[in-house]
Structure 1
């Protein structure tokens, strides 16, 4: 393995732009290297101090400390939009249950009542489920965090465009109006879900453009860089965001940028781990065309991952619906059994 690939790069977002507002060539070079070579990096100085991070973790812990009956009032099996609470062992990755419980949320928008049959991905849009009676501050704190990270995601995507020698607004059209970002509050619990074994969450790639993950000090996240056979840990860096790229950028760059495979090992029995991932993603109807890479970068493009069990689709909506149906089969069977007869296309 390349010695540089045995650790995760760290980038400082406060150095991204020069005083004139243009992106710093040094930052762009570091970003290009991290995004191409590893597909993961950690990001500091992104606009949230220790107090805000602590507040978010504290309210997340309080949610998972609520009585189970309170959490189950938000059971995602009640939501045709895959929103709400998923209890331990009920999300599936690589065919096995994960040793985690979570609360999924996204933009607060009404459900789409009518959509073309060939665009079933519109069903992903809909209202969130919040514990407004038992923990009313959770909605406010979580949505404020999503607003902050929407700005971080947009800034990083502009920087990625520049790193690809494109105008910094190259990807803007796909996000104009109603970006379909997603976020989760996650609690990993070891030694409880027997079928999960050591799997906190199984090996997978993310669906969208950019993932911004806040993780606590426990650790367990592991990355498989492109072309490597060795998993490397993403060591916790207090307050930093772990950044990785999703399938839409791999499709757009023909593999110059990789949707890097990653997994989480469950913590030891009796140990709790909390993470808050945010997925900066475009409109559901966005279709991402290949970008025209300069020859020097095109020569390093690896091609799109050829996995028949996980086809990468240029339609963001089709790509994300594919993932939801696979990860939450109970929700799919209850609300969308017609979609289980074949994979979405796009």
Structure 2
């Protein structure tokens, strides 16, 4: 039996997946990460994501958060039907508790196709808000290019996941729409250094991610990301220069009959006394809005040897993390919308009042404002 209680995150070399002589070993290593860990580091991705582009983006991030508060507030998330824009420090909730982070939600380019009579969740995707170009020249184009390249990496990585699960490379394509009807959501996040008097070290509380995979750039050298193994222990995933962190979401776990593992994780604030904030840039690689992953039309058949590896691992332990169980019955877009409503209730109150009343019958909580 495999060691279910991992104590470190595996490191995979993406360049090995691009050579016929080394791809088979990469697929074996990816299969282990998929089934037994749920997380991995990915190195040598320069063929997909330009290294100079990453360095340029990292240089922009402190300047982005240093913009005058009134300028950041001009693109506040409450302006956006699509939950895209700026959130002040402490504006987001995880399981009802405040996350100590400031962030800009920025997605790949997309025009909402929603019109009257369409499902509300079609409007969860749409255009991003950017700060005034004159205040931070070049940032918008840098960010758009970065998100486009990382999304393309994710699209190729999905074919590798399919192969690691014993499917053909196109085995997961049924969960995606045409490129013009897809959007992938990114964030630029700052976790400030807490004071000695801070009552919480919660940068982001324990949670799972919703979709198929997340590609995270840890954009500063601070520790903080932690991953929970089956014993409930928190395993550090510190930044490794030149890598992305990739993890798998609940939609993939549901779609693969529990073979792929979604793993609970959290982010701690930087240690007291740190000289600068922690910065990170995740991209959440989405599946199509109308997909119901448990519908029979999306059911996948896996080789017996893959199912055997899942069964040898055993059942995944229950955690207190947000678990997106709505994938059992709801389309992907509705799961996304409900998650946004619960995380940003003031945006929901303004743009989705019926859903807001469903989740917050007593009105806005004292915290959790995206303005």
Relative to the length of structure 2, the TM-score reads 0.84
1:2-41 alignment runs, 5 A limit: 2=3, 5-19=6-20, 24-41=23-40
SS of residue matched to 1:159: helix
Paired residue for 1:261? 264
Contact 1:53 1:239 in 2 (8 A): no
Cα separation, 2, equivalents of 1:235 and 1:309: 24
- Alignment match of 2:347 (pick from 304, 323, 331): 331
Aligned residues: 339
C-alpha deviations, 1:2-50, integer Å up to 9, x for none?
4971010000100003348xx8211000000011111000000112455
Paired residue for 2:129? 129
Paired residue for 1:282? 287
Deviation at 1:321, TM superposition (A): 1.2
Change (3 A) 1:49 1:148: closer
- Alignment match of 1:298 (pick from 301, 307, 326): 307
Deviation at 1:87, TM superposition (A): 0.6
Cα separation, 2, equivalents of 1:318 and 1:192: 38
Q: What RMSD over aligned residues (CA atoms) do the two structures have, in Å?
A: 2.5
Change (3 A) 1:313 1:264: same
C-alpha deviations, 1:179-201, integer Å up to 9, x for none?
22110101111326988711000
1:44-83 alignment runs, 5 A limit: 44-47=43-46, 48=49, 50-83=51-84
1:83-98 alignment runs, 5 A limit: 83-98=84-99
Q: Which runs of 4+ in 1 moved over 4 A?
A: 192-196, 301-309
Residues 1:311 and 2:325 aligned together = yes
Paired residue for 1:106? 107
Contact 2:250 2:323 in 1 (8 A): no
1:214-233 alignment runs, 5 A limit: 214-215=217-218, 216-225=220-229, 227-233=230-236
Contact 1:43 1:242 in 2 (8 A): yes
Relative to the length of structure 1, the TM-score reads 0.90
Cα separation, 1, equivalents of 2:248 and 2:216: 11
Deviation at 1:116, TM superposition (A): 4.0
- Alignment match of 1:200 (pick from 203, 213, 234): 203
C-alpha deviations, 1:292-318, integer Å up to 9, x for none?
122232242556887897424152212
Cα separation, 2, equivalents of 1:309 and 1:108: 28
SS of residue matched to 1:5: coil
**Bigger shift: 169-178 or 100-109?**
169-178
**Bigger shift: 258-267 or 307-316?**
307-316
Q: Which runs of 5+ in 1 are unaligned?
A: none
Cα separation, 1, equivalents of 2:348 and 2:268: 26
Paired residue for 1:321? 337
Cα separation, 1, equivalents of 2:76 and 2:238: 32
- Alignment match of 1:236 (pick from 229, 235, 239): 239
Change (3 A) 1:113 1:297: closer
